[in-house]
């Protein structure tokens, strides 16, 4: 059945559906992790509970990544270079790992004003949703894929600019242990922005090779 599905995808010029499903599965877990972080900073989920739940989400993301690696080794057709698909999957994994670190460190540091992180986390959601659109479009023409990559890159760049503004705010006042904790948490979200930008680069590079 799996081989027949791959032959069908090859004949219709579509992306191997198993690859797409694995990438989307990774992104779904990643977006769930981002929404969990938002619920935590909003007080809807206790930090300790978020810490435990994030472990389960990370496990689901790792399972989907392992599935993609397995499917990639046997796929008959890929919409972009295999190496670039692997880079894309790795970058998605890095996003989820950094969200995990954000939740874990929030649990450890107990920063009082968590709501300050909401705008950056909202931008993370925008970046993940742009990635979802790009994965659905991977089998489309290079111009469509390149446009999607640009939207993802914008989200990553916006996060990095927001990080700079937050760092400026933190150091505009007295440097305290609380402000240093804030800096570490903001840094985690800046790393998410870097991973989103790297995912955009993988998609753009793949589109250029077609």
Joined together, the tokens standing for residue 154 give 């914008």
Give the whole-angstrom CA distance, residue 105 versus residue 188: 9
Indicate if the pLDDT at residue 140 is higher than 90.
no
Q: Are 107 and 47 in contact (CB under 8 A)?
A: yes
- Taking residues 107-112, report their average pLDDT: 92
The model carries a pTM of: 0.89
Taking the CA of residue 198 as centre, how many other CA atoms within 13 Å lie in the half-sphere pointing to its CB?
A: 16
Reported as a single tens digit per residue, the pLDDT across 15-40 is 568 888 999 999 999 999 999 999 99
Number of domains in the chain: 1
Range of the domain at 12: 2-208
- Taking residues 149-178, report their average pLDDT: 94
Joined together, the tokens standing for residue 198 give 């790297």
The CATH code of the domain that includes 126 is 1.20.58.220
Neighbours of 102 (CB within 10 A): 29
């Amino acid at each position: 059945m799996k081989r027949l599905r791959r032959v069908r995808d090859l004949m219709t010029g579509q992306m191997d559906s198993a690859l797409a499903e694995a990438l989307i599965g990774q992104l779904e877990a990643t977006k769930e992790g981002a929404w969990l972080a938002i619920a935590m900073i909003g007080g809807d989920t206790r930090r300790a509970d978020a810490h435990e739940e994030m472990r389960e989400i990370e496990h689901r993301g790792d399972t989907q990544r392992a599935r993609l690696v397995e499917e990639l080794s046997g796929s008959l057709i890929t919409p972009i270079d295999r190496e670039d698909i692997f880079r894309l999957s790795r970058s998605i994994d890095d996003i989820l790992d950094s969200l995990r670190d954000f939740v874990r460190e929030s649990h450890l540091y107990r920063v009082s004003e968590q709501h300050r992180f909401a705008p950056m986390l909202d931008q993370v959601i925008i970046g993940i949703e742009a990635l979802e659109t790009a994965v659905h479009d991977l089998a489309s023409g290079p111009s469509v894929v390149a446009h999607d990559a640009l939207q993802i890159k914008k989200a990553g760049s916006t996060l990095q600019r927001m990080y700079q503004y937050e760092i400026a705010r933190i150091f505009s006042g007295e440097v305290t242990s609380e402000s240093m904790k804030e800096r570490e948490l903001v840094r985690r979200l800046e790393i998410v922005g870097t991973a989103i930008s790297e995912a955009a680069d993988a998609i753009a590079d793949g589109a250029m090779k077609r």
